[in-house]
Every structure is written in C-alpha cells, then in structure tokens.
C-alpha cells in the first residue's frame, strides 16, 4: 500500500536502531498507523525536529502490515503552542489514541476534533473541560458512547435535580436501583451531554464517569501519563 501526502500528527516516537525512529501517527484517512522513519534520528536529518507531537504534518508512507515506511514528511501549519504545564495533558490524549484506536481504522471526525482540542489546551483557563469533551467523543467513535439524556430502564428524560448511578453496561439508572456503577447527578449527565463543564463539582463527577468508561476499554492497562500526573501532584 502506498499512501500519498495527507494530514497527520505524530502521537508517539521512539528511537529505532542507530538513526531511525518508530512512530505512531494519527492520520486523516487511515487513522492510526505505525511507521518507520529511516535515518530520521540522524544528526543531519531535517526530520529529527519535524516529527514531533502536536505538529501538523503531511505524511506519505509505503508498505503493508503493522509497520510501514515513511517516505515523505512536510509541515502543514504551526504547532499548537502548548504551554509547559499543558504538555502532559496533550501527551495523555496521545496515549489514549495509541492505546484505544485500532491501526488503519479511519476516524475522520475524531481527527478533525484533535487539532481543536490542542488549540483549546493551549488557550483555555482549565484543561479539564476540553479533556472531558474529547474523552466523550473518543468513546463515541469507538462505538461505546455514553447515554446522557435518558434513564436506561424507563427511557424518561434525565432530570438535573435527580441523582443517578451510571451502570457502564446499561446507562444511567435512578439512584438506588443499581448495586454498582458510577454515582452522578442529572446535572452532571446533562453538562457532559452539552459540553458545558464550568461547575467544579459537576466536573469532578464527569471525570469519574469518563475515567470509568475508558478503564473498560483499556482493559486494565495503566496509562503512563496518569502515573506522571500522580507523581507531579506528590510533594518532592
């Protein structure tokens, strides 16, 4: 398979042999792809500084199977100027995409949202609201979207003033009708549905829900970026 230049972002990179790089990229038409960038880590390679996370790129590659060979790379715009305290949030999103997106499975809608998320992380007052909105969209693209507008058993509309328990295999249930699940208010469900996450209490509820839903998809695999978040919060 030969892929001509198309929009893409590097999600992760690591050294390979002496002067090459192994890349995980997120592309517009082919989704997540694994690439070998031969010679890209060499001291004279112009690709060394180009193949970086958060940089809008145009990439070409050739090959079949799990790992193809990068054949061309060009800048496609300016990178999102993430401030130092937001880089870890961007890397968290990248790790989610690497762990959860199947290779060579196109997600053009999610790809379109990704640079918007980076722009939000660069400018928003808080990082939590854009992260929660992106997690919701990721779950939808994976086919495991959250039910946020009606109670699972009765189908009645969610009431902001009511309390619910979100059973991950069923949806929101009236508080007391489920033995296990994620406690969340109707206000929290509706806020996530509408993407309006300004209330700190609601934001904490929503984070518990999206984290629990993502944990099911991760199947027990720990995220390195979450470990870094915890280490960052702990006093030295």
In a domain, 104, yes or no: no
Residue 169, phi then psi, degrees to nearest 5 = -95, 0
Q: Look at residue 236 in the predicted model and tell me its pLDDT.
A: 44
198 and 139 fall within a common domain: yes
208 and 128 fall within a common domain: yes
Domain around 171: 124-233
Beta carbons within 10 angstroms of residue 125's beta carbon: 7
In a domain, 112, yes or no: no
- The two tokens of residue 96 are 């989610």
In a domain, 106, yes or no: no
132 and 34 fall within a common domain: no
d(CA 54, CA 88): 12
44 and 133 fall within a common domain: no
Q: Look at residue 231 in the predicted model and tell me its pLDDT.
A: 83
CATH number at residue 62: 2.40.50.140
**Total of domains in the chain:** 2
Coil vs helix vs strand at 133: helix
Is residue 189 within 8 Å of 158, Cβ to Cβ? yes
Strand locations in the chain (E) = 2-16, 20-27, 31-37, 57-62, 67-75, 163-167, 171-174, 182-185
Q: Look at residue 84 in the predicted model and tell me its pLDDT.
A: 93
Each of the 236 residues of the chain gets a pLDDT tens digit; together they read: 899 999 999 999 999 998 999 999 999 999 999 999 999 999 889 898 899 999 999 999 999 888 999 999 999 988 878 999 999 999 999 999 999 999 999 999 999 999 999 999 999 999 999 999 999 999 999 999 999 999 999 999 999 999 999 999 999 999 987 678 999 999 999 999 999 999 999 999 999 999 999 999 999 899 999 999 888 775 44
131 and 220 fall within a common domain: yes
Is residue 144 within 8 Å of 169, Cβ to Cβ? no
- Between the CA of residue 71 and those of 26, 61, 62, 83, 105, what are the distances in Å? 16, 5, 7, 31, 21
pTM: predicted TM-score of the whole model, two decimal places: 0.94
164 and 226 fall within a common domain: yes
129 and 227 fall within a common domain: yes
Is residue 79 within 8 Å of 52, Cβ to Cβ? yes
d(CA 22, CA 13): 6
In a domain, 116, yes or no: no
- The two tokens of residue 100 are 């959860």
In a domain, 103, yes or no: no
In a domain, 156, yes or no: yes
In a domain, 118, yes or no: no
Looking at 38, 55, 75, the residue that finishes a domain is: 75
In a domain, 164, yes or no: yes
Looking at 75, 93, 113, the residue that finishes a domain is: 75
Strand locations in 82-140 (E) = none
Q: Look at residue 61 in the predicted model and tell me its pLDDT.
A: 98
Relative orientation angle of helices 128-141 and 87-100, to the nearest 10 degrees: 10
d(CA 7, CA 90): 18
């Amino acid at each position: 398979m030969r892929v001509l230049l198309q929009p893409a972002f590097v999600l992760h990179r690591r050294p390979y042999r002496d002067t090459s790089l192994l890349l995980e990229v997120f592309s517009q038409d082919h989704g997540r792809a694994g690439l070998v960038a031969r010679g890209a880590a060499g001291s004279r390679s112009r690709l060394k500084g180009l193949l970086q996370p958060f940089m809008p790129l145009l990439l070409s590659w050739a090959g079949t199977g799990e790992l193809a060979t990068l054949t061309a790379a060009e800048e496609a715009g300016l990178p999102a100027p993430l401030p130092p305290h937001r880089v870890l949030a961007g890397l968290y999103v990248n790790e989610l995409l690497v762990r959860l997106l199947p290779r060579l499975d196109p997600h053009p809608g999610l790809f379109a949202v990704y640079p918007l998320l980076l722009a939000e992380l660069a400018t928003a007052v808080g990082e939590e609201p854009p992260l929660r909105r992106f997690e919701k969209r990721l779950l939808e693209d994976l086919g495991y979207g959250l039910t946020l507008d009606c109670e699972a058993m009765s189908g009645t509309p969610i009431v902001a003033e009511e309390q619910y328990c979100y059973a991950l295999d069923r949806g929101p249930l009236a508080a007391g009708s489920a033995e296990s699940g994620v406690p969340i208010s109707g206000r929290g469900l509706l806020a996530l549905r509408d993407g309006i996450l300004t209330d700190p209490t609601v934001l904490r509820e929503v984070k518990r829900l999206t984290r629990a839903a993502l944990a099911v998809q991760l199947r027990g695999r720990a995220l390195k970026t979450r470990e870094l978040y915890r280490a960052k919060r702990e006093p030295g």
